[in-house]
Structure 1
Amino acid sequence: MKKPIIPNKIMATISGILFLALASFVLLFLIEHKKLLSCTKNYYAVVDDSLFDEYFSDIHPPEAFSLISLSDFYSLDLNCGNEAKKGPYACAVTFVTKNEGMAFFDGEKENAHSKNYSLRSKYYFPSAETDFNQVSSLNTSKPNFTISLTDAENLPQGNTAIPVASKYAGDQGYALEKETYARCTVVIPDFEKTVFDFFDEFFKDKNVCKDNITFLAAVGDIMVEGGAQKTLIEDENGLEKVFGTTLPVLQSNDIMIGNLEGSVTESRKRIYKSYTFKFHKEVLPALKKAGFNYFMQTNNHCYDYGEEGFKDTLAALKEYGIPTSGAGYTAEEAKKFYHTTVNGTNFAIISCGAFPIERTGFNGEKTATATDTRAGILWQNEELFENIKKEKALGNFVIVNVHGGFEYRHKPHQLQRDLYEKFVDCGADLVFGSHPHVIQPTEWYKGKLIVYSLGNFIFNGESEFAVYGALDSEIVRVGLVNGKIVYTEIYPTRHNETSVRLR
């Protein structure tokens, strides 16, 4: 039987069909293979959207992988299988997110395949309404108080923060700290070194954004002429003998302010006054070691030994590196603020005189105020108010120390109150008062703190003080977080002839 003969045209047609089929198969194979290669070689570090926008939008990683935001990653047409868009594990090396949690929670810990990179930290504070009438150390809250828990920015006005387990924000082990960090998790082990090397290098120079904590305090009149001065200069245990239990409080601050009530001079040319005070300059290192790093000089005893004694005082403070302000060799110098930056907070500190004329006729405004040709102090005036406004406009935390009011009055006079409130109205964040020799109230005014009179911190040799209640004083200590008063503490003290102690 003869085989059927297939015409050449039919054979050609069949061959063409088979060729096209084979070519199509090969083409489809190559297309799918290319997609597979795309899925296995174009790796991504997938980053949480907000974190990507903040840190990584203009960053170029090594060739081994690309950085991409989470939303952009999910919009890719990867077509790597049904599970491709359900997570980074198919086509990603790492997944970076922001995680937040209080330090007293365990949170997600690092392991062999993940690392945490700290981005920012925020403290939280239990706080209660401030009661400045309490007389026990460290207690400025009412007995039946309501506790609030907030960050510094949202601390209720008039509240003061409370230490947690005797720790303040910023102390090692403070419990109420909230941390934000980037968590990098590698899902393809072969890329761990490349990925971690990149992120280690990237984050090492990034400053962690933290709440800045600063403590400052002030005491009232310091007059150590006589026994206290002798002990501080000559006794190797002089600090402990003179300051006793107040010493740890004094030494625990970034800024410690005191009113140096007298002249630092060896001059014997005292002016006509009821009382004149002077100290040896050798006492200054001891006072500095006690914690004082700013002395107010704008008081009614700064000119007890005339301009010569005043200049000696300025020279001695400069010699021992103790700042002052509101005092200078000229009026221009006297009106300058003392500026310092502590833990990211910029401070502008000024002192001024506002005390009344003495019984002997001593008029500080006329006699001791600096002029173009005379060294002296800054007196409260309209230019000072304008300068306070300027300092506040620069973003500074403004402190005004004022020597004013009337002696032995336990409540501020209305003129005194008006002046101190005006300082706040102009931009002062904190006003410390001295001169009355006795304690006057501490009050909030428009969210700022006014201490009308700190009293006599140490003022040896004056027996009349017991009669007027001028043996009692206080250390007022505040803690700032990012320039806002958060902690407010009053430490009651009592002094005798040659020493001072906490009550």
Structure 2
Amino acid sequence: MPSGSTGPPEPPQPPPVVQEPPVTTKVTLAAIGDVLIHSSIYKDAKKQEGYDFVPMFERVRTYIEEADIAIANQESMIGGEALGLSDYPRFNSPYEIGDALKTIGFDVVSLANNHSMDGGERAIANALAHWRKLGMTTVGVYGSEEDRDTIRVVDVKGIKIAFLSYTYGTNGIPVPAGKPYLVNLIDTNRAAADIEAARRVADVVVVSAHFGQEYKDLPNDSQKKFAREAAEAGADIVIGHHPHVLQPAEWIETGTGRKTFVVYSLGNFIAAQEGENKRTGGILRLEIEKTATGGTSRIEVKHPSFIPTWISMTNWRKYKVVPVWEAGADQIPDTAAHEEMIRRHMSRWMPELNFPAKPE
């Protein structure tokens, strides 16, 4: 090589890899338990023209509206007044309870429960038509096989949340032959397949489960088994109802190291049943956090909180759902003690469950 030569030029270097900062999105989800419209409730809501349930929920409305997405367990089918309103053992409710839930901020209703078949196919068809008219997402009962196989996914701030719903049974009322799609019955294999399908199209899978034994404070083995199976199949959140009383929350850690949030029962949100435990419910709040880095993303369910509620009424009239601290001595002799009991009960397996302070 001649003196002074610098040799061949160095090959161009690739530009440095710039690590994109993670992008975090947070969504709050609110959930309530049973909306079971006994006759004293719809009679209390009766107006000269139709029914107005909205005033019954005004004291808790803000907690629903603040959430990015909210789901209710609508236990009595809203088949409408033309079918004849009815009470236990076969419920049929006015359309206006659906209107009220929409007005106060609910987006999704779970409809698979032991009263789903109370009014037969006609009530289901009427209810689904009215929920569609309201623009509400329904899950758990369906108008066709194709409808049943369509996973309900709601996009909230870019986080796709899938909703599924199942019930242990229909109080002995048979689902019509050839129409199993009308009501989603709990079937482990089918639920696992649904959850797997939901995971392919959504970031988060929420399973509503109507299960357990009425009026029992703790979940039974079948509840725990189904919750575990749903978690292992890929569910992120399992919301339980049917016992009509509160049952605790817990985290289930799966075999793959994922954590699934489970609450076994959110109690009655509104119903006409006697007893402090049956008049106590609550509003569950969860934070869903999605962290996206490059082409990958991670979902975490965080910061569970619970606002205890009370069904206030006098002589089966003047129904109002209120935060438990607003119940008053005429409703609960010792409100503070009742609230503390709820705290201990709901957090027995989840000490970090938060209970927001009473507003000043």
Contact 2:78–2:127 (CA under 8 A) maintained in structure 1: yes
Match of 2:192 among 360, 385, 399: 385
Please give the per-residue CA displacement for 1:288-313, whole angstroms capped at 9, x wherever unaligned.
01111111110111221111111111
Following superposition, the deviation at residue 324 of structure 1 comes to 0.7
Letter in 1 for 2:184: L
Q: Structure 2 unaligned segments of length 5 or more: list them.
A: 1-14, 254-258, 291-298, 314-318, 325-360
* Residue of structure 2 aligned with 1:470, choices 271, 275, 278: 278
Q: 2:306 matched to 1:490? A: yes
The structure richer in helix per residue is: 1
Contact 2:85–2:92 (CA under 8 A) maintained in structure 1? no
**3-state SS of the aligned residue for 2:213?**
coil
Q: C-alpha deviations, 1:112-155, integer Å up to 9, x for none?
A: xxxxxxx85xxxxxxxxxxxxxxxxxxxxxxxxxxxxxxxxxxx
Tell me the CA shift for residue 253 of structure 1: 1.2
CA 335–496 in structure 1, closer or farther in 2 if over 3 Å, else same: farther
- Matched residue of 2:96: which SS? helix
Report the AA paired with residue 340 of structure 1.
V
- Evaluate the alpha carbon distance shift between residue 374 and residue 425 of structure 1 in structure 2; reply closer, same or farther with a 3 A threshold: closer
- The CA RMSD measured in Å over matched residues stands at 2.9
Structure 1 contact 294–322 (Cα < 8 Å) conserved: yes
2:103 is equivalent to residue 289 of structure 1: yes
Distance 2:186 2:146 in 1: 14
1:304-353 deviations in Å (ceiling 9; x for gaps): 11111111111111111111122112244224321111112111111111
**Within 5 A, what are the aligned runs for 1:241-280?**
241-265=55-79, 266-268=81-83, 275-280=89-94
Amino acid at match of 1:478: L
Equivalences for residues 411-422 of structure 1 within 5 A: 411-422=218-229
Aligned equivalents of 2:289, 2:195: Cα separation in 1: 21
Measure, in 2, the Cα distance between the counterparts of 1:492 and 1:346.
28
Deviations 1:463-496 (A, max 9, x none): xx317x2111111110111131122111111113
Deviation track 1:36-75 (CA, whole Å, cap 9, x = no partner) reads: xxxxxxxxxxxxx85xx439xxxxxxxxxxxxxxxxxxxx
**2:337 is the alignment partner of 1:337:** no
1:267–1:318 Cα change, 3 Å: same
Instruction: State the match for 1:456 in structure 2.
Output: 268
1:220 alignment partner AA: G
Deviations 1:432-485 (A, max 9, x none): 00100010111011121001011001113x3xx317x21111111101111311
Number of residues paired by the alignment? 289
> The residue matched to 1:245 in structure 2 has which SS?
coil
Decide which moves more: 376-385 or 427-436: 376-385
Deviations 1:258-294 (A, max 9, x none): 11111212354799x9522222213322210111111
Q: 1:221 aligns with which of 3, 20, 34?
A: 34
Larger RCO: Structure 1 or Structure 2 (Cα < 8 Å, ≥ 6 residues apart)?
2
- Contact 2:41/2:271 (CA < 8 Å) preserved in 1? no
Distance of 1:304 and 1:333 partners within structure 2: 21
**In structure 1, what is the equivalent of residue 135 of structure 2?**
321
CA distance in 1 between partners of 2:109 and 2:161 (Å)? 15
| Alignment partner of 1:433 is 2:240 | yes
SS of the residue corresponding to residue 327 of structure 1 reads coil
Amino acid at match of 1:303: M
1:63-104 CA-to-partner distances (Å, cap 9, x unmatched) read xxxxxxxxxxxxxxxxxxxxxxxxxxxxxxxxxxxxxxxxxx
2:251 equivalent among 427, 444, 458: 444
| Equivalent in the alignment of 2:160 | 346
Q: Is the 8 A contact 1:455 1:474 kept in 2?
A: yes
Letter in 2 for 1:480: I
